[in-house]
Amino acid sequence: MNKFSIKVTLCLPIMMLVLTACVASPPKRMDARFGNAFGMAKAQQTVNPDASLNTAPVRGIDGQAGDAIFDNYRESYATPKPPARGALDVGTSGGSSGSGMQ
């Protein structure tokens, strides 16, 4: 036998033993309430469970109006409007920390 086959013969079983430590064992016993929290949260967030049975068209704005609203919204961030002249800056502090001289 050459040295390579001896090394492989010795290392292979050792590597197999080391790799068995990485195997995750399944839980021994599942909790009877496993998944209930997800099911309750899903049920609480569902307004109408039978919504898929309703085939009536959804009422709202048409596609062209919605597209125009979305374009206007997107452009408002690309080119923001300057603030109105004469507007007062109400509700902001003047920068004092409240520890003035007495």
Q: Would residue 93 count as lying in a domain?
A: no
Q: What is the dihedral of CA 95, 98, 100, 102, to 10 degrees?
A: 160
Q: What is the mean pLDDT of the chain?
A: 81
Can you give the residue range of the structural domain that contains 53? 3-78
- Span 27-31, mean pLDDT? 73
Q: Would residue 26 count as lying in a domain?
A: yes
Q: Would residue 68 count as lying in a domain?
A: yes
pLDDT at site 97 = 56
Q: What is the dihedral of CA 76, 82, 83, 86, to 10 degrees?
A: -150
Mind listing the pLDDT tens digit for each residue in 66-96?
Answer: 999 999 999 988 888 777 777 666 666 655 5
Number of domains in the chain: 1
Q: Would residue 102 count as lying in a domain?
A: no
CA distances from 85 to 53, 78, 92, 94, 101 (A): 54, 21, 18, 20, 35
